[in-house]
Structure formats: C-alpha cells, structure tokens
Amino acid sequence: MGIKQTFTSAILFTGLALNLATPQSVIAQDQTTANQDWSKIETKAQGQTVYWNAWGGSELINEYIAWVGKRVWDDNKITLKHVKVTDTADVVSRVLAEKTAGKDAEGSVDLVWINGENFASMKKNGLLFGPFSENLPNYPLVDIENKATTTMDFTIPVDGLEAPWGMAKFNFIYDSARVDQTPNSSAELLTWAKNNSGRFTYPSPPDYLGSTFLKQVLVESVDDHKILRQAVTDEAEFKKTTAALWDYLDQLHPALWRDGKQFPVSSSAQQQLLDDGEVDIHLSFNPGAASSLIKSGELAPSVRTFVFDKGTIGNTHFIAIPYNSSSKEAAMIVANFLMSPEAQARKQDPEYWGDDTVLSIAKLSAEDQKIFSAIELGVATLPPQDLGPTLLEPHPSWMERIEKEWLTRYGQ
Amino acid sequence: MADTVRTINSTISKQIRYHQAMKNHFGSILSVLFSLHTVPVLTLMVFLLPVLAGLTSTVLPAFGYLPVIGQISINTNAWGQLFAHPALPSALITSLSSGILATILSLIVSLSFVAAWQGTASFRKARRILAPILAIPHSALAIGLAFLIAPSGWIVRVFSPWATGWERPPDIAIIHDEWGISLVLGLMIKETPYLLLMILAALDQSQAKQRLKLAKTLGYHPIAAWVKGILPVIYKQIRLPIYAVLAFSLSVVDIALILGPTTPPTLSILVLRWFNDPDLNYRTIAAAGALLQLFVVICVIVTWWITEKAISRLSKRWLINGRRTFLEQPVRQVSKFSLNSIFLLFFGSLLVILLWSFTRRWRYPDFLPSVWSIQSWDRNIHNLLWSSSSTLIIGLISSFVAVVLVVVCLENEKRRGKTAGSGALWLVYLPLMIPQVSFLFGVQILTIKAGIDASWLAIIWSHLLFVLPYVFLSLTDPYRQHDDRYIKVALSMGISPARAFWRIRLPMLLRPLLFAFSIGFAVSVAQYLPTLFVGGGRFSTLTTEAVNLSASGNRRIIAVYALLQALLPLLCFIAALTLPNIVFRNRRALKEH
Amino acid sequence: MSDNTFKQSVTPAQFPTLYLKDLKLCLRGEALFTNLSLNISPGEIVTLMGPSGCGKSSLLAAISGTLESDFSLVGEIFLDDLNLTNLPPEERHIGMLFQEDLLFPHMSVSENLCFGIPAHIKSKKERVSLISQALKDAGLSEFENRDPATLSGGQRARIAVLRTLLSQPRALLLDEPFSKLDTELRTRFRDFVFRHARAHNLPTLLVTHDPEDAQSTGGKVIRVSDF
C-alpha cells in the first residue's frame, strides 16, 4: 500500500463528507439475506469467518466462546474469532466509524454481544442487520411468554434485530462468614448498612451494576411501574418519581464504605473488595457467578448469594449482527447455535458459565429436558425457584437522567 | 577519548556541509533519498495526516457537525453542555493539580538527586536501575503499585494485624483518593527515572564534569555548584522532555484508571467515558472535552514556559551573589530518601505482581499467598504466546521503522548542514500532546478510508505515531553531537559518504541507536488505545489483554499479563545495554563508562 | 620514537603539484581573503599563519571539499591539470590531519589503517602486508591489534598519520596537528610528519599558530593577512 494512496484518502477525508450512505438498499437486501431458506444460509455460511465482539473479562466465558468456535467449525466449517472487548460501547463506536467512513460492507464486526443502551443506540442509528432472529430455527424454543425481557430489551422492542442468548438477574453475593442475616429488600439493606457501617458499597454509575442497584431501589420505591416503562417526559415528573430514591441514597451513603465519598470504579473492583474483606456484600447479575468464582479461587468458599423476596431487576442479553457484516449467514448460524439446547445447557452449567437459559424447558424434548435437570448449580447458586420474581428494567431515558442527577449530587 | 571528542566538538560549533559531495553522487540509494529530501517529508506526512484527520474529526463534532447522528448544523451546544456538566469543574481541577504536581515533584527529585549525588557510588548505582524502570509499561506498574499500597495491599499486610490491630483492611482511601495523590505517586515512579535519564544525557554533552570541578575549586559546595553552574546550561536540553512529561501527566488514561480519583475522575477519563457512551449524542460533548483537554495542555505548557523565563530572570542576581552553599544537607538527604522510596515502590510493585501471578488464594491479612498455583499461567499459555508474538511483531517493526526514519532525517540534516526542517519536525511531538482518544477516532476513519483498517500496516503505523516522537527525542542529541570530522577524515581518504555513514557513523552511534530502539519498543508495548482503535479489535497485544482482563478484577490473571508486559521491554533494554559492550568488548572508548 | 620512515611500494609514478588560483573566500558574503594564489610542489611544505578567524582553517576545508555551508569560494584548485574545485571530497584524495587523531574508536589499530587503504588494492595479503610494513616502519609493530583507546597520545597521532598515508593521498593538509602535544613530543612528531610527507613527495600545506612549527619546515611561510 503506497503512501500515495494514504494521501489520497486523507484528502478525501479532510473533505470529511462523513457520508451517510442511506441503508435503504442495504435493508432491502438484508431482508432477502435474513429470509432465505435455512439450508441455503447453511451452504453460504460454509467457510465464512465470523468476528464476534464480546466482552473478554471473564476466563470462563472466554473458554465458553472458544468451545462455541470449535462446535461451529465442526458442524458448519465456520471460523469463529473472539474479539475481546472491554466495553461494548467501543464496538458501537467502531461500527459507527465504519458507517462514517462509508464502509457499508466488509465491516470489522460480524456478531456482537449486546443489550440495553448499546442496543438502543445501534437500533436508533441504523447500525443493525435484520430483522433476523425470529427466522432462526431454534427461536420457537425461546420462552417469550414467561421471559418478557426476551422481546423487550430495556423496554425497547427487539423487533428481531437481536437474538436472545442468556438471562441475567440482579442478585447479591455476600460472605456468609461475616454476614448472619441477609437483608430482604432495599429498605432492609439500608438498615443493615447503618448497623454495619463501611461494609457495603456499590460501583459508581455508569457502571452496569452500580446503575442497576439504583434502578432496583427506584423500582422498589415507585408504586406505579407504568410510568417507568415510558420515556421521561418532564422535569416535575422526574423529580416526583425519583424523590424517594434520592432520600434513600442520602441516608445510605454516610453508612457506606469510605463514608460514601468514594465508590469502586467497577463491579470487578468491588469483587476484589469483597475478597479482601473491605466490604461484605457485592452485586452480581449472574446467579451462578458466586459458585464459579469460588471454583476459580477468586472468592472465598464461604461466599453465598441472596435476592429480595419481592424480586430483583432482570434482563436478557442478546447477540446482534451489524449492518455491514459480510458474514451474515455464518453469523446467523452461530446465533442459532447459541440458542440451541446443547449450547444453552452448557451455558447454565456453573462449571462452564452458570447463566440462566432463555429457553422454555417445557418446549424442549424429553431428552433435552434431562440434560438441563442434570446440571449441578453449585454451592452458592440459588435454585431457579428461589430467585424470586423478575422486575423489569425501566426505559433507558430514566437511567440516563438518574446517572446525570447522581453525578450532580454525589459525583464531586 | 569520548570526552576529548566532545570538547573539540563544542569548539567547532557549526556543522559541516557536504553539499558538493552530493552534486555528483547519486550512486547509492541513500544519497538519492537524501538529495530528494523525501524522507523528512515522508516522515512528516506519516504524522501530519493522522494528526490533521484526528483534529478534524474532533473539531467538527465539537461544534455540532456529526452527520452520522443527524447533526449537521454548526453550533456551540456541545460546549454549553460540557461546561454545564456537573463533574467538569472538579475533574478539571484534579487533572490540573495531579498533572502539574507530578511533573514538578518528579523534576525536583531528579534534579536534586543529580545535584547532590553526581559522581558518587550511589549515583552510579541509581543510574543502572533507570532503564528497567523506563521499560515497564505504565499500566503494569500502576497495577503493581495498587496491589502494594491499597488498604488491603502488601504494605498494610506487613504490619497487620500484629502492629496495627487491623483485622480487616482499614477503611481509608489510599488508591483512587479524591486528591489524586496515588495518581501523582504512580506518575512520579515513571517520570522521575525518565527525567533523570534525560538530565544525564544532557550532562554528558555539556562538559558538566569539568564545570563542576571548576566551581568546586572556587569554593562552591556541590549543590550550589550544580544549581548555579550546571542547571542553567542543561535546562534548555531537558525542556522538551519536561513538556512531554507535563502533557502526558495532564492527559494520562491508563494510570488514572487504575489509581486516579473516581467520583469524579480526571478530565481525560471523563472524555474517554463520553466517547464510549452508547448514547452517540455524547460524542459532541466528548469532542468538545477533548479540545478542552488540548487547550488545557497548551495553556499549562505556555504558563510553564513563562514561569521558566521569569525564574531565569529573577535568579540572575542570585546566581552571581557569591554564596557558596545552597541547602546542602537537606537536599542531599531528601533527594536520596525520595529516590530510594521511588525505587523501593517500583521493585515492590514488580515483586507483588510476580507473587499474584502464582497465587490461587491470597486473602487479607496473609503476608504471602495461602494457596500457590501455576493455573494462571497454565490456562492462558496459548493466549499468552499469541499476544506476546503480536506484541513483539508490532513493537519490533514499529521501533525499527522509527529508528530508520529518524536516522535518515538526522543524517539528511547533517549533510545539508542546517537544522532547517527540524522546525517542522517539531510536529512529530503532536501525538504526545493531544489526548489519544479524541485523535484516534480520526485515525481509525482514515485507515478505514484507505482500506487498511485492521491490518498489520495500519496498526504499526498507529504505533509509530507514538513511538517515533520518543525515538526522535532520544536520538537527536547523540546524533547531532556526533563529531563530523570522523566523516571528514574518511572522505579525505577517498571513502564515499554512504560508506562513511555505514562504517563510521552507525557503528559509533550503536549505543544510542539501540537505546532509542528499546525506548521505542517499550513505548509500543505500552500502547492500548491505538491497538484497540486501529486494530479493529482484531489484534490482541499483552497490553490490550491486560487492560481487558483488568475488567475481570482477577488479580492473578492481571498479574500474569502485567508481568509479561513488563518482561518483554525489559529484555529489549537489557539487550540494548549489553550488546554494545559485547561488540565493543575490546574498545574502551565505546564501553559504558 | 623511531626515526624510521614508512615508504610505500605503491606510489604514483608522477608526483603532482597543488595549485591554488585566485581563491576568494567569503563568510556570509564578507570576504576573508581575496586573490590567494599558491603553488606547492611535490614534497614541499608551505606554512600558513594568521590570527584566529582569518580563514586559514576554512581554506583547508575548501581545498579538501568540506567547506561549511555559510562559506562561499571563488577561484580554482588544481592538482597538476586536474581541476578539484567541483569534485566531492572523496574524489580529491587530499589527506587531512587535525588537532585530534580522530582514530575510529570502534576499530582496532590495524582496522583503522586498513580502512584507509584504497579499495583497488584487493588482495587481503597485500593489504595486511601494507599495514604491518607501515607499523614496523613507524616502530609500532606490537600495536597491530590494540584498541586505539589504550595507546598514548603520541602513538595515536602517529597511527593517524600512517592511516592518511595509506589512503595514498596526492596532497596533505595539516590543521594544527601538533598543537595538543607537549614540547618534546611535539618536535619529534613534527619531524615524523614532515619526514613522511617528503618521503611520499606530497605537496603539504600546514596551518599553525606556532612560529616554531613554521621555522621547522624550512620552507615558505605565508600570512593570510597578506591577501
């Protein structure tokens, strides 16, 4: 590649047309790609390479993804490459940069692990391929009836633009050697914190789990949940709805670790605090996490999990295909495989990951049901029936406003 | 020998021109390159293009132009939102205070140590430790330091609970403290050795030894002699490194993430967060924030420069007031204590990383791990090999290319007998002054447009942006100081300029060349954001893996990557330091003094 | 110091004369001297004297072709009928000796000497014998594989002379080569240089501050201020 070429491109760039290639034609073509006969997709997928951008912060998950790569190679001759990312927002940025540069094909991302705000952003900006997920052969097994979050991602309709992959449920990890009585609601947690000064904290928003903790308190303190399903409309309403939340935090903070003047930067930082004995309670989105972490030596064997009786926030994580992927067929095959009973059962096994399935066990064949019932959940994992009800995520605009308000109140 | 050459060198101040030689000699490829002056131009292009692209893609969105999210009007909304952001004032203050404080303290420690201890045994000992410290990437060091000084860290464990009574880690903010003190400490551990090295390089070129002796014969005590007789002379030479340190400290990302304040963080982290916010509307605020960061860096450098001038003017009388002493004892003691503490923290950090990499369980307050294991190495071996090799490939190639480009520029400058163009070559420092995150978005778009994104070429190029300035910085002085009469003698014996270059210039400069190479390599190894942005996420180096895994909070795995990350550049430095001694084992003038 | 003289078997059949014709040297447009004309015959040693800054060293640079860029030269320089004025330094074959020996620190004594021997002498045996002959004649035989940094100033100075002679120059320029040596060494080294210049029949131009140097040549003495 010559310097000359770079130079020409630079001139092109300096013009900075930032051309928004309208995805009209792309979408039309997408429809045909997504609606093809499955056997045709399988044929086309052979030999394609799928770059899967997925958070790479957990060894267990990385190993799971490597296993998926092996399986799709054996079955479909698809090369799966795990691109480890720290923050899925980086992937959004990258696809955006490609769109900015007019790169509407041969994009660098073929598959992305996503949900919530990142999904909302990609959907809004036309960065996603599809709809495709409802055409996948394994989709009918998904428990859309009882697991509402598989079709509404943070209140945003999925519209077939992402395929459900796993269920997350907010829960608390604690050290049973140091905590006798676990709190049963946000209110009880406040009392516990006051009695055990300096032994609880939460990661500072916008950390995922920190924000979820705020949402949990918010949802518990609001009577009419309907209001949270819609976008924040006006300031007065926001003030009224969140007043109880701020009151709660004002009481809680003086009793927190570092007197609430400092917060862990991330949920993983808080995990380390738990292991160091600086705090006694940690937050998690994965009911099987504690068992896995005991196994890997990262947490003490005395660690256990608890949830609130009236329920905790739950959501679904998905995988989506960017609009400019050139391995869309193979990406769909991978997405379909991830929803298969085989892959979902392995995902539920704390030995490999320990994440709740998106499938409806009742819809599975007897044989597949047996695999699921044989999974040992691990010492620190609550059985599904003890996980309590699932509270829905509020509309993303609530979180946006709350994070901002939080920053104004406590962030300086 | 080297000293005599230097003495002569300074008496012949002007450089020699080989203009005529060039007229008739298009024989070698090198001379063709020189006569066309293509290489300096090419070098600048390598830099100017991405810098321009990066700036454009920052300036336009900062003023509201970001068509991809439907904003095409020019306005100042982003600035309004930026200044209204609740976290901005304190983020700005912590950025400024920690950046400036770290630079001033590092400068004071390094200057006072040299002033007090130059020529002593402890000075020679300290000098030997500098290179390894420089070699260790910031993130690895910061990780180690955090393991060391945290409330649950190794230092507290040494004294707990038997002396402190702390059955649990004390509830005090040591790392991520709101004043940014641990951030300043982390920065100092890296920057003091860097400035020390730059001061030493400057000393080697300024007849400091003779001057110091002279001042002492006039009855000046060591520190007064140094401060009055040497510092004013060498300050000019270390000015640029100081500015680089200043710019770096003001916009550092990795150390600030690991050690800096969190609520709110420093400005650079805030900008990074906005850039990464899934809500793309934050892009315009991020762009404005990045420009603000650039503006802050420029303002601070200008202020520093003015202060420099003022001090130099105000101190004129003091310099010649005839006083023979200047805080002799305090400076000696304090400088030695501070430098030793820095070294201690450095080695402590490395050691604690090493321990964690072989740990399975290690709970507070245990002084040593309770369960050892090699699982962290074992389970990652495949990944470790893979990311080590890409780290090596990118690092070796980019620093090699950087050294070649710099040598060709400097040789061209020598032959054309003027330092013209070095005015323009200043621009290579731009990538060091602009906050990486704002600038790399533009580079990313540029590589995509050129159709080279996610290729080795693009990634090496992006590393070159940060490697070349440091190589340039470390090679310029030795190269410019090289005595041209050696070349003149060779030419008078009928040797061609090209042959003189290969046989005389390069071998004589072998030591600085290798040193510059290993600096470049260390810089490349430490790069995180360029690899991430331009590599399209498809390239994993030890650093990207380490930072990615640091999200897992698993100290064992982080330690494994941090250790390897530290090891590679360290080996490179050791090779660079020992190779000349082997090649020149029988050449006293070229062995390390 | 040995009184032996190193003579090379390979010497040009005809010894050239160095002609300087109407030289005018300007520093940034200001003339340092004008109308300098001078002939130096083979084996003749001419001394150039004058105060600092009068342009005497620059004249040597002009003759060797290594003039700095802020100087300009008018006039012509010939070796017999070969016009050197526009030749690059490496094609002029004019040997130079400076105040310092400038032995290459990364080469041994014999490597330094070998570096000087022209490339057209290809046979390794011949090159080696030239070196040992030169060292032997200068009384420095045992220093062949030594590191230059381990030698005394006088030894190094003599090796620098041998290196220049081995490159088979057709004229010799001496830029105060004796000024750094002590008195006794100075006299002996001066004799060494002059003896070799004469033995090789080189037209030689010496720049110096020291009247004694000038006297000892027994030849023409020129003051730059005369021009």
Count how many Cα atoms sit within 13 Å of the Cα of residue A43 in the half-sphere of its side chain. Answer: 6
- Residues from chain A that touch B66, judged by Cβ atoms under 8 A, are 18
- Residues from chain B that touch C96, judged by Cβ atoms under 8 A, are 488-489, 492
CB-CB contact of A263 with A203 (8 Å): yes
The CATH superfamily of A3-167+315-382 is: Periplasmic binding protein-like II (3.40.190.10)
CB of B281 within 8 Å of any CB in chain A? Answer: no
CB of C120 within 8 Å of any CB in chain B? Answer: no
A296 pLDDT tier (thresholds 50, 70, 90): confident
Locus of tokens 């389970």: B379
Q: Is B16 left (phi over 0), alpha (psi -120 to 50) or beta?
A: beta
B14, closest residue in chain C (CA to CA): C68
> Partners of A54 in the beta sheet?
A84
CB of C31 within 8 Å of any CB in chain B? Answer: no
pLDDT at C111: 92
Residue B74: DSSP 8-state: -
B75 lies in a domain?
Answer: no
To the nearest whole Å, the CA of C25 is away from the closest chain B CA by: 16
- Residues from chain B that touch A3, judged by Cβ atoms under 8 A, are 42, 45-46
Phi, psi (rounded to 5 degrees) for A136: -70, 140
C172 pLDDT tier (thresholds 50, 70, 90): very high
CB-CB contact of B269 with B253 (8 Å): yes
CB-CB contact of B403 with B513 (8 Å): yes
To the nearest whole Å, the CA of B286 is away from the closest chain A CA by: 13
- Residues from chain C that touch B505, judged by Cβ atoms under 8 A, are none
Smallest Cβ–Cβ distance between B360 and the set A19, A55, A297 belongs to A297
CB of B449 within 8 Å of any CB in chain A? Answer: yes
To the nearest whole Å, the CA of C124 is away from the closest chain B CA by: 18
- CB C99 to CB B495 under 8 A? no
- CB B548 to CB A85 under 8 A? yes
Count of helices and strands (H, E) across chain C: 6, 9
Find the Cα–Cα–Cα–Cα dihedral B584, B590, B591, C1, rounded to 10°.
Answer: 90
Q: Chain B to chain C, count of Cβ pairs less than 8 Å apart?
A: 119
Structure tokens at B290: 């990045």
Are B402 and B369 contained in the same domain? no
Smallest Cβ–Cβ distance between B540 and the set A59, A84, A273 belongs to A84
Domain end residue (candidates: B349, B373, B397): B373
- Residues from chain B that touch C98, judged by Cβ atoms under 8 A, are 485, 489
Locus of tokens 């009209």: A24
Which of B397, B362, B336, B346 lies closest to B520, judged by CA?
Answer: B397
Cis peptide before B137 (omega within 30 of 0): no
Q: How many CB atoms lie within 10 A of CB B11?
A: 8
Are B367 and B426 contained in the same domain? no
Q: Is C171 left (phi over 0), alpha (psi -120 to 50) or beta?
A: beta
Are B399 and B539 contained in the same domain? yes
Over residues A190-210, mean pLDDT: 92
Give the mutation candidate from B418, B492, B587 for the C interface (greatest C CB count, under 10 A).
B492
- Provide the residue range defining the domain that includes B35: 1-65+383-593
SS3 C40: strand
- Residues from chain C that touch B8, judged by Cβ atoms under 8 A, are 99-100
Are B369 and B388 contained in the same domain? no
**Residues sharing a CB contact under 8 Å with residue A84, sequence separation 6 or more, in sequence order:** A54, A55, A56, A62, B537, B540, B544, B545, B548
Between the alpha carbon of residue B345 and those of residues B47, B147, B159, B505, the distances in Å are 36, 11, 16, 40
Q: How many CB atoms lie within 10 A of CB A408?
A: 12
Distance of alpha carbon B398 from alpha carbon B270, whole angstroms: 30
Q: Which amino acid is at B224?
A: A
CB-CB contact of C9 with C48 (8 Å): no
Q: Which amino acid is at C140?
A: L
B82 lies in a domain?
Answer: no
Give the mutation candidate from B9, B20, B513 for the C interface (greatest C CB count, under 10 A).
B20
B378 lies in a domain?
Answer: no
B19 lies in a domain?
Answer: yes
Stronger pLDDT, A397 or B394, i.e. the higher one = B394
Which of B391, B49, B7 lies closest to A9, judged by CA?
Answer: B49
- Residues from chain B that touch C61, judged by Cβ atoms under 8 A, are 16
Is the sign of the CA dihedral B386, B389, B395, B397 positive or negative? Answer: negative
Domains of chain C: 18-226 (3.40.50.300)
HEC letters along A192-233 = HHHHCCCCCCCCCCCCHHHHHHHHHHHHHHCCCCHHHHCCCC
Q: Which amino acid is at B221?
A: H
Are B356 and B400 contained in the same domain? no
The CATH superfamily of A171-314+389-410 is: Periplasmic binding protein-like II (3.40.190.10)
To the nearest whole Å, the CA of B136 is away from the closest chain A CA by: 22
To the nearest whole Å, the CA of A409 is away from the closest chain B CA by: 9
pLDDT at B418: 58
Are B283 and B402 contained in the same domain? no
Is the pTM higher than 0.90? The answer reads no
B495 lies in a domain?
Answer: yes
Does chain A touch chain B (at least 3 C-beta pairs within 8 Å)?
yes
Please compute Rg for chain B using Cα positions.
25
Distance of alpha carbon B428 from alpha carbon B474, whole angstroms: 13
Q: Is B421 left (phi over 0), alpha (psi -120 to 50) or beta?
A: left
> Partners of A312 in the beta sheet?
A390
Chains in touch with A (3+ beta-carbon pairs under 8 Å) read B
Locus of tokens 């132009």: B65
Q: What is the pLDDT along chain B (593 residues), one digit of tens a residue?
A: 344 333 333 333 333 333 333 333 333 444 444 444 667 777 777 777 777 777 787 788 888 887 767 777 888 888 999 999 888 998 999 999 999 999 999 999 999 999 888 878 888 888 888 877 888 888 889 989 988 998 888 999 988 888 888 888 888 888 888 889 999 999 999 999 989 988 887 887 677 777 888 888 888 888 888 888 888 888 988 888 898 899 889 988 888 888 888 878 899 888 888 877 767 778 889 889 988 998 999 999 999 999 999 998 998 888 888 788 888 888 888 999 999 999 999 999 999 999 999 998 888 888 999 889 888 888 888 888 989 999 999 999 999 999 998 898 888 888 876 554 555 656 777 777 776 766 776 777 777 777 777 789 889 988 998 898 889 888 888 888 899 899 999 999 989 999 999 999 999 999 999 999 999 999 999 998 888 778 866 788 998 888 777 666 778 888 999 899 999 999 998 898 889 888 888 888 887 65
- Residues from chain B that touch A270, judged by Cβ atoms under 8 A, are 553
- Parts of chain A belonging to CATH 3.40.190.10: 3-167+315-382, 171-314+389-410
* Burial letters B187-224, b for 16+ CB under 10 A, else e: bbbbbbbbbbbbbbbbbbbbbbeebbeebbeeebbbbb
- CB B552 to CB A59 under 8 A? yes
Count how many Cα atoms sit within 13 Å of the Cα of residue A128 in the half-sphere of its side chain. Answer: 25
B 138-177 → A contacts, CB under 8 A = 150-152, 168-169, 171-173, 176-177
Distance of alpha carbon B434 from alpha carbon B439, whole angstroms: 7
Domain end residue (candidates: B345, B373, B401): B373
B83 lies in a domain?
Answer: no
Number of domains in chain B: 2
Between the alpha carbon of residue B411 and those of residues A218, B39, B241, B483, C62, the distances in Å are 67, 10, 22, 13, 22
To the nearest whole Å, the CA of B82 is away from the closest chain A CA by: 13
Q: The CATH number of the domain where B454 resides is what? A: 1.10.3720.10
pLDDT at B25: 38
* Sheet arrangement for strand C94-97: C94-97, C171-175, C204-208, C45-49, C221-223
- Residues from chain B that touch A118, judged by Cβ atoms under 8 A, are 278
pLDDT at A23: 38
A158 pLDDT tier (thresholds 50, 70, 90): very high
Chains in touch with C (3+ beta-carbon pairs under 8 Å) read B
**Residues sharing a CB contact under 8 Å with residue B540, sequence separation 6 or more, in sequence order:** A84, B383, B386, B387, B390
In chain B, the percentage of residues whose pLDDT exceeds 90 is 29
Find the Cα–Cα–Cα–Cα dihedral B100, B101, B107, B109, rounded to 10°.
Answer: -170
Over residues C28-49, mean pLDDT: 90
Residue B71: DSSP 8-state: B
**Residues sharing a CB contact under 8 Å with residue B382, sequence separation 6 or more, in sequence order:** none
- CB B587 to CB C69 under 8 A? no
B77 lies in a domain?
Answer: no
B57, closest residue in chain A (CA to CA): A16
Q: How many CB atoms lie within 10 A of CB B135?
A: 25
Which of B168, B333, B244 lies closest to B519, judged by CA?
Answer: B244
- CB C163 to CB B493 under 8 A? yes
B586, closest residue in chain C (CA to CA): C147
CB-CB contact of B84 with B93 (8 Å): no
